[in-house]
Structure 1
Amino acid sequence: MTADPGDAPADRRLASTRLLAELVNNTLDPGYAAAARRRPPGATRRWDVPIVAVGALLVGFLLVVAYVHTNRGAPAAQRVHDSLVERVRAAQDGADALAGDLARTEDDLDRQQAAALPTTGALARSLSRAQLEAGQVAVHGPGLVVTLAEPPAPSASSAPGRAGSVPVAATHILTDRDIRAVVNELWGDGAEAIAVNGVRLTPTSAIRFAGEAVLVDFQPLTSPYRISAIGDADTLATDFAQSASASKYQTLAGASGIGFRFRNESDISLPGSASVTPRYASPAPSPSASASASGSRRGGR
């Protein structure tokens, strides 16, 4: 008598079903029950209970000590935090007040200058041109706006990694070098006036990076960075689109997810910057000139 070939799969399915039912109904391995049966009654060691009690007391003591230390340190830390917040707010209020005083003083200076100087002629045109190039007067006109933005921050669930590490996507991709690269490209393409997030650039402007912010003339700016340039809109758009900077940030937008776009605008308004007093170096007198000057003073006496 030969076995039916169709019975083998049925037997395997039945065995699998019985094994699953055994695992669900009897979660404890039979070996544990056999070991418990082999253990004689009353075999518990007399020091097991004291050891467990002492361990529980130690754990409870450590929890109480941690709780007390946490609650004692919390008010002091909160006071330090509140004090720092108050100092920062006071400094910001003072800076805002000084900025308002400076703006009012500059407006008064502009009115007095307009009243004292001629409004027409070569001198007036030269002065207006110099103020425009120095970025001291507000301007408006057509131009190009370039926007750079950091990629979206990853959520905690989508950022796997070792505990305490910083995901690569959470670090800053854009720095001061990127802002300077776009600004220099726009200057080279014929821009007449540029501002970054509303901060007007001048010949003495500095773009730096500190912490998590880009500093433009010591004013902190954060992403997104809006770089506005006034000039011939068509020329700026054409030259910038064909530049190496635009190609670089197009690539970064696809590879790293940064925000990058630029568009023409028919009317861009840029504020004037605070006036800066240039300081010039002067040569020191030579030793021979100093000696002759001192000799002439002694001879005169």
Structure 2
Amino acid sequence: MTTPTTGRGYRDSSGTPSLLLDLINNTADPGYAAAAARRGESNHSWYEQPLAALGAALVGLILVIAYLHAHRAAPQTAKLHAELVKRVRAAQLMNDSLQHDLLGDQAKLNALRDKSLPAAGQLRSTLQSDQLAAGALTTFGTGMQVQLAVTAAPTATQAARVGVTTVTDTSPLSDKDIRSVVNELWHDGAEAISVNDIRLTPTSAIRFAGQAVLVDFQPITSPYVIRAIGDSDVLVTNFADSEVASRYHTLAALGGITFDWSQQNHLELPAGSAAKPNYAAPVTPGAAANGSPKPTPSPQPTVSPKPTPAPTSSSPTGGPR
């Protein structure tokens, strides 16, 4: 018995129709092969390849010019950076020198005043009270210390463009955090406060410039140590129950910052720089007789003033203020 080789009902020896065999053996549709053949037969224009080569050459030329321009400007940028660093360091040295001279003049002024005023009396007591309130005297007493710090320094990465600060470069602590703690300590009964050994005065300002915290225009960095003089028991009790302490304990538990505080039996705060008034003037006896209000006597200080010693050397790093 023979098997037919042609015909619509063709089957192989196993009885499988030929259409199924074609689907299995020839998976690609014949139309794809026909389309590929038509594309191969089409004629390309003679200028297509030269245009492609010219475009590639132009792109390469642009990349080379950009590379040379960037590297040619690099030495000038480095030179400008070095010049700025040199100017900043010179300004810092000048500031340290002026600060040293100021401390020397203040020591001389205090010595002359102590010789002129009586050893005890209402005038000396009032003067010391006013100086303590203005932060013009070195002060010691009991109190508490609060420290805020960043656990990991921000990674110095290159910004996407000039003037842009990336998220990883942003510190989790800012001037608002320092102000929150300082204002809470004032509210809890502090009588004198310093931030990183910078004494706060009635005209002190805590600001944020770029990524730096400024206290009276002096930059400070983490850890931020805030010392407050006052009744240590009252300060610790009130601060522990405050919303500020609760907030920063929660933030410290989440990570990124550290927050701790402790009671101190002895603290010494440096004197601050006296601010020069621009509009305020003392009341003279003649003006008071003409109806001007008399100044209210300052309350007696509860913290102890400490005489300001004469400076012996200048600190190139700024030293304690």
Taking structure 2 as the reference length, the TM-score comes to 0.64
Matched, 1:96 2:96: yes
Label 1:154 to 1:192 Cα distance change in 2 as closer, same or farther (>3 A): closer
Aligned to 1:145: 145
Moved more, 171-180 or 112-121: 171-180
Residue 170 of structure 2 contacts residue 211 of structure 2 at CA under 8 Å; is this kept in 1? no
Q: Which amino acid aligns with 1:95?
A: N
Aligned to 1:190: 189
Cα shift at 1:196: 0.5
Cα shift at 1:182: 1.3
Give the Cα–Cα distance (whole angstroms) in 2 for the partners of residues 121 and 165 of structure 1: 58
Give the Cα–Cα distance (whole angstroms) in 2 for the partners of residues 154 and 115 of structure 1: 53
Aligned to 2:216: 217
Aligned to 1:126: 126
Quote the RMSD (CA, aligned, Å): 3.5
Q: State the secondary structure of the residue aligned to 1:82.
A: helix
Determine what percentage of the aligned residue pairs are the same residue.
50
Q: Which amino acid aligns with 1:269?
A: E
Aligned to 1:107: 107
Q: Which amino acid aligns with 1:208?
A: R
Give the Cα–Cα distance (whole angstroms) in 1 for the partners of residues 203 and 51 of structure 2: 75
Aligned to 2:267: 268
Q: State the secondary structure of the residue aligned to 2:120.
A: coil
Structure holding more helix per residue: 1
Aligned to 2:117: 117
Matched, 1:230 2:229: yes
Q: Which amino acid aligns with 2:121?
A: G
Give the Cα–Cα distance (whole angstroms) in 2 for the partners of residues 67 and 177 of structure 1: 43
Aligned to 1:250: 249
Cα shift at 1:54: 4.3
Cα shift at 1:177: 2.6
Give the Cα–Cα distance (whole angstroms) in 2 for the partners of residues 50 and 280 of structure 1: 80
Q: Which amino acid aligns with 1:200?
A: R
Aligned to 1:72: 72
Moved more, 139-148 or 256-265: 256-265
Cα deviation 1:247-293 (Å, max 9, x = unaligned): 121222234532211012222221001122333358xxxxxxxxxxx
Give the Cα–Cα distance (whole angstroms) in 2 for the partners of residues 117 and 247 of structure 1: 48
Residue 253 of structure 1 contacts residue 260 of structure 1 at CA under 8 Å; is this kept in 2? yes
Give the Cα–Cα distance (whole angstroms) in 1 for the partners of residues 88 and 45 of structure 2: 64
Residue 154 of structure 2 contacts residue 170 of structure 2 at CA under 8 Å; is this kept in 1? no
Give the Cα–Cα distance (whole angstroms) in 1 for the partners of residues 211 and 165 of structure 2: 18
Give the Cα–Cα distance (whole angstroms) in 2 for the partners of residues 153 and 74 of structure 1: 27
Cα shift at 1:46: 7.8
Q: Which amino acid aligns with 1:101?
A: D
Which runs of no fewer than 5 residues in structure 1 stay unpaired?
1-33, 157-163, 283-301
Aligned to 2:289: none
Cα deviation 1:128-162 (Å, max 9, x = unaligned): 22222221111222221111123535669xxxxxx
Residue 212 of structure 1 contacts residue 222 of structure 1 at CA under 8 Å; is this kept in 2? no
Taking structure 1 as the reference length, the TM-score comes to 0.68
Cα shift at 1:55: 5.5
